[in-house]
Structure 1
Amino acid sequence: MSSIGRIVNSIFSGSNENTLALAAVNFDFSLVTIEAPKEFKPLGSAIAKTRRQDAEEGKPHQTARRLGALFEDVLPSFPKLVEAFGQRVSEIVLWAAATSGIPAIGVYLLSCLLAQAWDSKQATALWVELVKQRQQEILSKLANNHIVSKSSVFSARQEISREDLAIWDNSARSFIRSANQAKQRESDQLMLIVKYLRFPITSSGSTYASVLFVWKEALVNVEALLSGTPVDASSGLLLLAFRSWYLFPDLIVLGKGPPKHVPFHDRLFPAGGSCTLGQEKSMSSKPEGIQWSLTFSHLRYYGDPVVVQSNPNSSRVTFDEFVIAVLGHVFRKWGVSRRRHKDAAQWIVDLWDLISKSARAANATRQFVWLKVLAKAAENILDSDPENAIKNASLLHFGRQRGGFILSPQN
């Protein structure tokens, strides 16, 4: 055992400690590394030595330990989720939280929720508010003789800077970028479902209370699904959790007509662990997907709190997908109707094939590189399978509606 570990044990082992006195000890327990759960071990052996050392000793690890200790008393038990997320993450990437203890993994799950729902500036502002409110809550309970874990008290006295929280948020975004590539098919399939439904995230009380409610409800319900217990969901928080944690149970979607079963075949969910989606009735005919509205007190350094609504329904697109949206704008400018999209795509492919095979193929490639890019997008439209055809149609539609805004100030 390390010298730091012996110090931790000696501080925590006595039976007559005065917690108030301990609160005055300026001990940085965030430097302690905890053995990762076994489900995360394949990841630890796969990452480079320098990256592993940074994850176990650098800023992300220290922030993970501090946040884990700060919020450990409010976390429900979620062993199945730790196991499942460990296996899923080992397929993708993550280590700092894994070596910082179970509470830190729970906090990392929250970080993924916030990173998926909000941009980096908003998510960091939320973390500043959450840390401040939690530290005040711990010290208030301590002053009023409530039982508070010693590690929480230590963490309440540790400074967690906005910069540290921004780095912590960025680590979640890095995971999400990798996971989007590793689980693109499942993510796209889930987004197609979300896009045409209305699932607001409903909660009440302060921003702090709202975030903790969403976080804990997501943990408890995904834990139930992973235990083989079916769950009904009328709020968007579970859909946000599935998107953020890249765990995909089978869905039963209720709406007009008979219930629709959407299988994802995720091996991490046992039989029976399916989620039934009963969407909330919308006041308008236009679906709005997942929506989460919160009041931000720390979005700006000065000024009154502002109410902001998240937009987790928008997904990042690849360059090839972006060009398909551009092609939608081109088709609209050319006066091509939606039902003639494939005909126009075939014409572009044929035109590029003719030019590229001409006697001046090299010069043509340089002069008409824009046409080559469009031709590749057109080929993707013509060769797409039924699942990708739906997504491509959505990208073309977006390009027709908003392409002018993307490409130039004037439409």
Structure 2
Amino acid sequence: MSVGSLQAALASATNEVTVAAANINFDFTLVKYEAPKEYQPLGALLSPKRKENAEFGPSHCTARRLASLFHDVCPETPNLISAYGKRVSEISTRATKRQSTKFANSMFESYAGVDATSIWAAATSSDPAAADRGALHIHLLASMLAKMWTAPEAVSIWFELISERQRMISEQLERGDALPFSLAAAAAQRQIQRSQLAEWDASARAWLQTADSVMVKEQDQLRIILENIELSTSRDQGKASMVYLSVTQAWCRALMVMERLVSGVAQEVHDGAALVGLTAWHIYPDIHIFGPKSVKVSMQDPLVQPGGILTLGCGPSAIPSSQGVTWSLSLKHLRYYGRPVETQSAIGIHRSHLSFDELMLAMLGCVVNIWGLSRDNMDSAARIFSKLVLHLESREQSKLVDRHILHGLRLLGRAADAHIEEMNTTTPFVNLGINRPQFLPAKFRNVPTRPFFSLLEEDTFLDRLKDDESRIMFLRRIASRYLSQHPQASSCVIRYAITQTKTSWASVFPSSITTRNRATSRSSAQSHHRWNADHTLDNDKEIHHRTTQRSPAPFSFKDGYVYNHQHGTPIPMSLWFGNVHGTALYQPCDLARPAMPPAQIELEDLLWALEYDLMADIQIPEDKVSSTLSLLAVAHSGVLGRLEGLMIRLKTLSKPLTEAKWAKEVAVNFDHRPDDRGYQWISGALPKSIGVLSYFISECDLRPTDIEENVCGVSFGDSIFVPENLTRDPFEASDEQAIVRVLGNIGLPGFVMFSSVMEPMVSEVSESSWKQKD
């Protein structure tokens, strides 16, 4: 039935036809009520502009219309509404205290502060005489949808809910059912526009971002609970195509369960509706999970009365890749043309947003994965990164490594240190990166990627050791691990200090040798043996040697083999480990005896060399790992590292960072200006900073050269990003173009760029015009 037909049916079904006809066109949504007392602290913190919008503007109209349209759909929940008011007031107060006061008197004063517009609009749209507080229930639904679905999906769901609700009311009128006038009038009015629904959803989405950042500890605890469970929000998966039924049932179940929980009545659930509710509404009852292993989690939320325990009637999921709470729907209005889109969303153990430090923990996991290291080696890998950064920053080494790669490694080293110190807290983020290796490109300029930049390869590792003594120490270390039990271990020898005319030799294992001593003429002891070509050491290390005798070394080298002449007949010895043209360990060639086991450099060997300062200069090649670290360094030093409270989209990890449009411009700059590189590329250029920012915080991947020069800031979610100079007194402005984050938004959905006028109108200066200030 069309709106016009519905209006006609409404008029004929009403006794007072004249009054009804007049009221159909009357905007009853402008009615305003006093907000409940629990919500008053929230209202006091809103900027005047947001408050006006919530009480008299578009947000108030949307709240009133939706509340009237869905009248009597939800159960009465007075205790939940009261508890929610206390929680949102608490969150807004804490968020406001964290926000700097320096923006209070800036040009963004009207837009700064928490965006609780949808909450205040709902609070002032709810009739205090009605127990159901319908508009606040509408906001609670908006929070559930914003928590589970993307903005386009949530708007599509809203549009379908409204259309189906209007159809149901039309059928009731046709049957002659008695309906409240406000319900019929709400259905008879014109369709709520998508733009209005998008703004309603954007406000709820911004609030969730702020609330999640304030209640981060409780949200993280809840994610741990969701780690090993799998529940569906829709009880009947066959109803996924019936969006209205699936959503309203989940909405009502969540309201009923949470109402009883905050009232102190224990509840057991077998679906995910209540879990969606408590994550979106930030109310945390104690949770018990019963299964093969029972788990009890005490959340200690004062808003939940004693006895309000949520029991999940399921044990840990048998599915290794648990998805937490899922919700499947078939959305008819997601696209303007085409068949319904089957969609599924989930809330599980991972946040939808990460801090930059958490992003670097995920990067640590990506690197470990791409290098083929197991999770068991995670601790050793983290320690190596930490020591490697210290080594690269020492002495002249820092001059030999590209400064962006060095800064990227420094950021990775900081993440490694955090993982070592707080492993329980950081492991989920590292695992997040391990499961998303696509953050690194599949290939980079056909340069192979090897673990720890080839430092675990035999030739590279030995070349990077600072001197022959370090190499001898390492060869003895690796021999003790692989050869100590071999019957011919004592016959092995190390060849080193090689020139065209001189070669020195060293024993691998201690043996009994004859020495001279001041007290006695001869003695026998277990020690290492050296045959030095010139009877001197080639370095000033403190090595304890005792000269035994002057005699030729009982070894020779020819055609890649060492020959041992100690027992008369030369015994050939082949290379076991090392470089034939450098320092190497040789083993006897005896086909009658078992072959010596092959050796490889392990993580502990590299860590050992770094800890004991045995490494010389290390070259870091430009491969897929170092190139991604360089880009992260540019983004961090130019933009992200300067923004307090910045949250990065989790989806940033779903594709290679090198494919971002801003990253490609950086790569071109790297090729043409290798000395200045990324720091010069991003400094002093606001469009470039916005290009980087848009990629990490939103779905937008903007080419910086496509951003107009007069763009002066962006608004997204619960944040406004602008040059710091725009928040200062003009007399205090500096030449720096540093971007700052202001808690708030300009009230529009999506990623919004705002700009200044290219040619502002300025009054002309006239000689006959005098202006005087007293």
Normalising TM by the smaller chain, what interval? 0.7 to 0.9
Q: Which residue in 2 is equivalent to 1:111?
A: 142
2:303 matched to 1:268? yes
Q: Deviations over 1:116-166 (max 9, x none)?
A: 111111111000000111112123212322232222222112331111111
Give the one of 400, 409, 419 matched to 1:381: 419
Asked if residue 195 in structure 1 is aligned to residue 227 in structure 2, the reply is yes
Query: Is the contact between residue 135 and residue 156 of structure 1 (CA under 8 Å) also seen in structure 2?
Result: yes
Equivalent residue, structure 2, for 1:402: 436
Q: Distance in 2 between matches of 1:20 and 1:350?
A: 81
Query: Which amino acid in structure 1 is aligned with residue 121 of structure 2?
Result: A
Alignment of 1:109-148 (within 5 A): 109-148=140-179
Distance 1:168 1:32 in 2: 18
Which residue of the partner structure matches residue 6 of structure 1? none
CA distance in 1, matches of 2:315, 2:426: 28
* Aligned partners of 1:199 and 1:280 also within 8 Å: no
Which residue identity lines up with residue 166 of structure 2 in the other structure?
Q
Quick one: distance in 1 between partners of 2:384 and 2:418? 14
Name which of 213, 224, 246 aligns with 2:260.
224
Give, in angstroms, the shift of residue 303 of structure 1: 1.7
| One-letter identity of the residue aligned with 1:263 | S
What is the letter of the counterpart of residue 116 of structure 1?
K
- Deviation (angstroms), 1:284: 4.8
User: 2-side partners of 1:300 and 1:33: how far apart?
Assistant: 35
Contact 2:289–2:315 (CA under 8 A) maintained in structure 1: no
> C-alpha distance in 2, partners of 1:142/1:280?
47
Q: What SS is found at the alignment partner of 2:121?
A: coil
Partner of residue 78, structure 2: 79
Amino acid at match of 2:135: A
Higher relative helix content: 1
Between 30-39 and 179-188, report the one with greater CA deviation: 30-39
Instruction: Note if 1:28 corresponds to 2:65.
Output: no
Question: Equivalent residues in 2 for 1:225-244 (5 A)?
Answer: 225-244=261-280
Distance 2:347 2:250 in 1: 15
The counterpart of 2:198, out of the listed 160, 166, 185, is 166
Q: Describe the shift of the 1:363–1:186 C-alpha distance in structure 2 as closer, same or farther (beyond 3 A).
A: farther
- Residue 213 of structure 2 corresponds to residue 181 of structure 1: yes
Greater mean alpha carbon deviation, residues 372-381 or residues 172-181: 372-381
> Is the 8 Å Cα contact of residues 287 and 297 (structure 2) preserved in structure 1?
yes
Structure 2 CA distance for partners of 1:181 and 1:348, relative to 1, 3 Å: same
Q: Note if contact 2:228-2:316 (Cα within 8 Å) is conserved in structure 1.
A: no
Could you tell me whether the CA contact under 8 Å between 2:292 and 2:315 is conserved in 1?
no
Whole-Å separation in 1 of the counterparts to 2:197 and 2:139: 12
Structure with the higher fraction of residues in strand conformation:
2
Deviations 1:230-266 (A, max 9, x none): 0001111111111111111000111113x32100011
CA contact (8 A) 1:203 1:213 kept: no
For the pair 1:323 / 2:323, whether they are aligned, the reply is no
Q: CA deviation at 1:280?
A: 7.6
TM-score, structure 2 normalization: 0.48
Q: Is 277-286 or 317-326 further displaced after alignment?
A: 277-286
d(CA) in 1 for partners of 2:24, 2:366: 63
Structure 1 contact 236–291 (Cα < 8 Å) conserved: yes
| 2:426 aligned partner | 392
Q: Is 1:151 aligned to 2:182, yes or no? A: yes
Taking a change above 3 Å as real, the CA distance of residues 281 and 264 of structure 1, as seen in their structure-2 partners, is closer
- Distance in 1, matches of 2:442 and 2:158, equals 35
Measured in 2, the distance between the counterparts of 1:290 and 1:326 equals: 26
What residue ranges of structure 2 are gaps of 5+ in the alignment? 1-13, 93-115, 127-132, 444-655, 657-774
CA spacing shift, 1:160–1:280, aligned 2, 3 Å: farther
Superposition TM-score, scaled by structure 1 size:
0.88
Partners of 2:265 and 2:249 lie apart in 1 by 21
Partner of 1:3: none
Q: State the secondary structure of the residue aligned to 2:24.
A: coil
Paired position in structure 1 for 2:60? 61
Aligned pair count reads 391
Tell me how far apart the structure 2 counterparts of residues 300 and 62 of structure 1 sit (CA, whole Å).
26
TM-aligned CA distance change 1:408 to 1:335, over 3 Å? closer
For 2:16 and 2:256, locate their aligned partners in 1 and report how far apart those are by CA, in whole Å: 33
CA displacement at 1:402 relative to structure 2: 1.6
Classify 1:325/1:142 alpha carbon distance in 2 versus 1 (closer, same or farther; 3 Å): same
Give 5+ residue unaligned stretches, structure 1: 1-14
Q: Shift of the alpha carbon at 1:281?
A: 9.2
Q: CA offset at residue 19 of structure 1?
A: 10
1:271-318: per-residue Cα shift (whole Å, max 9, x none)? 100001112896855433211111211111112223221223352222
- The equivalent residue for 1:369 is 407
Work out which of the two has the higher radius of gyration on C-alpha atoms and give 1 or 2. 2
- Report the Cα distance in structure 2 between the residues aligned to 1:281 and 1:264, rounded to whole angstroms: 19
In 1, Cα distance between equivalents of 2:136 and 2:366: 44
Amino acid at match of 1:302: Y
Task: Report which stretch shifted further, 16-25 or 149-158.
Answer: 16-25
- Aligned partner of 1:303 in structure 2 is 338
Looking at structure 2, the residues matched to 148 and 409 of structure 1 have their Cα atoms a distance apart, in angstroms, of 62
Residue 40 (str. 1) matches residue 39 (str. 2) = yes
Aligned equivalent of 1:347:
384
Could you list the per-position Cα deviations for residues 316-354 of structure 1 after superposition, in whole angstroms to 9, with x for gaps in the alignment?
222221211111111233444322322322232233344
Label 1:22 to 1:137 Cα distance change in 2 as closer, same or farther (>3 A). farther
Q: In the alignment, residue 249 of structure 1 is paired with which amino acid? A: P
Comparing 44-53 and 330-339, the one that deviates more = 330-339
Counting aligned pairs with the same residue, the percent is 36
Question: Secondary structure at the residue paired with 2:268?
Answer: strand
- Going from structure 1 to structure 2, the CA distance change for 1:347 and 1:43 (only over 3 Å counts) comes to same
Structure 1 window deviating more from structure 2 (300-309 vs 241-250): it is 300-309
CA distance in 1, matches of 2:56, 2:398: 55
- C-alpha distance in structure 1 between counterparts of 2:221 and 2:316, whole Å: 23
Q: Match of 1:11?
A: none
- CA offsets per residue over residues 81-106 of structure 1, 9 Å max, x none? 11111111112342222222121110
CA contact (8 A) 2:39 2:88 kept: yes
Worse-superposed segment, 325-334 or 190-199: 325-334
Counterpart-to-counterpart distance in 2, 1:234 and 1:50: 43
Query: Equivalent residue of 1:340, what SS?
Result: helix
Q: Displacement of 1:212 after TM fit?
A: 0.8
SS in 2 for 1:91: helix
SS in 1 for 2:347: coil
For 1:222, the aligned partner's letter is M
The residue matched to 1:292 in structure 2 has which SS? strand
Contact 1:294 1:309 (8 Å CA) reproduced:
yes
Letter in 1 for 2:125: S
Q: Offset at 1:173? A: 0.8
Higher RCO (Cα < 8 Å, 6 or more apart): 1
Contact 1:23 1:153 in 2 (8 A): no
Deviation at 1:31, TM superposition (A): 2.2
Residue in 2 that maps onto 1:7: none
Q: Distance in 1 between matches of 2:399 and 2:82?
A: 55
Partners in 1 of 2:74 and 2:327 — Cα distance? 21
Three-state SS of the structure 2 residue aligned to 1:294 is strand
Of 44-53 and 119-128, more deviation after overlay is shown by: 44-53
Give the partner amino acid of 2:203: S
Task: Report whether the alignment pairs 1:92 with 2:129.
Answer: no
SS in 2 for 1:97: helix
- Paired with 2:428 and 2:394, the residues of 1 have a C-alpha distance of 32
